Chains A and B, each alone.
Chain A
Amino acid sequence: MKKWGWKIATVILLLYTVIAGFLWEVPRLHIVNESIRALYFHVPMWFGMVALFSASALFGIRYLREGQKHLDLYSASFAHAGMLLGTLGMVTGMIWAHYTWGTFWHWDPKQTGAAISYLVYLAYFVLRMSLDNGEQRARLAAVYNIFAFASMIPLIFIIPRLTDSMHPGSGGNPGFNMYDLDSRMRLVFYPASAGWILLGFWLAQQRIRLKNAEEQLLEHEYEQQ
């Protein structure tokens, strides 16, 4: 029960997010109107991405310090799941931007920063692909992962806040924060955040298990020969 309790919680939280997120009443605001519901999807997905990339960088550091092989697998899997949530977050953000800004892609500083850090993480996967499986790949990938994480933080959280940006919460633009968020929306927003973050870790766990199974299969075949 304890082992899959958090998975049941994920399913319930996300079902609740989808149902309540689309059906419950939301405040009527100019321009945003119904598109305010993106708050239940776009923002929590980015929370999930940041959480997973943080975990990935953390396991990268741990790999460099401790040198155990499974830590590298964890780090890579968290990065994969983070990438998926980042893609989903970007797509939902683009749909939102289409209705409120008028274009899917606006070259807003926040979007530019997100696009660049997306490229950085793509480069991380390219680096992993171009090295042979082994200790060296794990070490170099961990180093680049830490570098990527360190460059993501200013690109997404610092530079957009310093420049003029239409993205809520940037450039003195009043956006969503803990104090002005409608209390009805909070009832959905917090469970949604937890749900999307948990989903990311669940996906990462599936990838870890898959890779472990593949490895065991290989070992098994090797023994039979």
Chain B
Amino acid sequence: MNWLAIVKKEFTLELRKKSVIASLGLYLFSIVFILYLSFGQASMGPVAWTAFFWVALLFTAVSTIAKSFIGERKGVFVYYYYTVPAGDFIIGKLVYNALLSSVMGLVGYCLFILFLGDAIQDHVIFLSALVLASVGFAASLTLISSLAAKTNNGSVLMAVLSFPLVVSILLIAVKLTKNCVDGLGWSASSDELLILGAINSLVTALSYLLFPYIWRS
């Protein structure tokens, strides 16, 4: 149950400082507010809604998850290296990041409803797509962030390395959102949800297998 300890520790730290959650919330809020101001009273079409929603979510997820390795001090990692097995460590980080980015996704959706209106008709499908995509972001970005943290220009490299990998998740998520906007029901979206789930498990398995090699240095 070591990974649970990691998740618990991350949450305790987060709730104690609150700075990360607050800054991310503000980040999302600013994006939505800028969109609201620039669109003004003219209503946003469902296509633009979908595009802006996922772009906002992607950038929030990248800056959320980049924190998990790039921000930490070196001494902390040395401590972890000797106390926690690599597999438990990455699973803990993954679970924590998945939870955090799902929460960010839900908060983002609420903000979008509040400021820009609700374009979605199938809420249950959309929310499951939202959670699956957030988990996918977390799964692929966590390993990349640990890679980028090893280099000199971590935050730039984070963007370069992660965007192409995340695009496939994003494309499926946009397609799902389009289905939900049109209210096509489960039969139209079940395939995409399955693919999203499959990509998530593939990426998680790869992260679990490959992380020990990054961890060693």
Chain A, residue nearest B214 (CB): A143
The winner among A112, A144, A148 for most chain B CB atoms within 10 A is A144
B214 CB contacts on chain A under 8 angstroms: 139-140, 143
- Asked if A20 CB lies within 8 Å of chain B CBs, one says no
Partner of B202, one of A120, A136, A150: A150
A139 CB contacts on chain B under 8 angstroms: 213-214, 216-217
> How many residue pairs at the A-B interface have CB separations less than 8 Å?
72
Restricting to B165-212, which residues have a CB under 8 Å from any CB of A?
Answer: 165, 167-168, 171, 191, 195, 199, 202-203, 206, 210
Restricting to A115-147, which residues have a CB under 8 Å from any CB of B?
Answer: 116-117, 119-120, 123, 126-127, 130-131, 135-136, 139-140, 142-144, 146-147
B147 CB contacts on chain A under 8 angstroms: 127, 140, 143-144
B167 CB contacts on chain A under 8 angstroms: 116, 119
* A123:B206 contact, CB within 8 angstroms: no
CB within 8 Å of B: which residues of A?
64, 112-113, 116-117, 119-120, 123, 126-127, 130-131, 135-136, 139-140, 142-144, 146-148, 150-151, 154-155, 159, 162
A154 CB contacts on chain B under 8 angstroms: 168, 199
Q: In the bound complex, how far is the Cα of B168 from the Cα of A159, in angstroms?
A: 9
Chain B, residue nearest A143 (CB): B210
Q: In the bound complex, how far is the Cα of B214 from the Cα of A136, in angstroms?
A: 8
The 5 closest A-B pairs by CB, nearest first: A119-B164, A120-B164, A143-B210, A136-B217, A123-B161
B50 CB → nearest A CB, Å: 17
B55 CB → nearest A CB, Å: 16
A146 CB contacts on chain B under 8 angstroms: 206, 210
Chain B: number of interface residues, binned into ranges: 20 to 34
B157 CB → nearest A CB, Å: 6
B163 CB contacts on chain A under 8 angstroms: 119
Q: In the bound complex, how far is the Cα of B152 from the Cα of A143, in angstroms?
A: 18
* B195:A123 contact, CB within 8 angstroms: no
- Enumerate 21 A-B pairs (CB-CB under 8 Å) in ascending A order: A64-B210, A112-B171, A116-B167, A119-B163, A126-B157, A127-B161, A130-B151, A130-B157, A131-B150, A140-B147, A143-B210, A143-B214, A146-B210, A147-B143, A147-B144, A150-B202, A151-B168, A154-B168, A159-B168, A159-B171, A162-B191
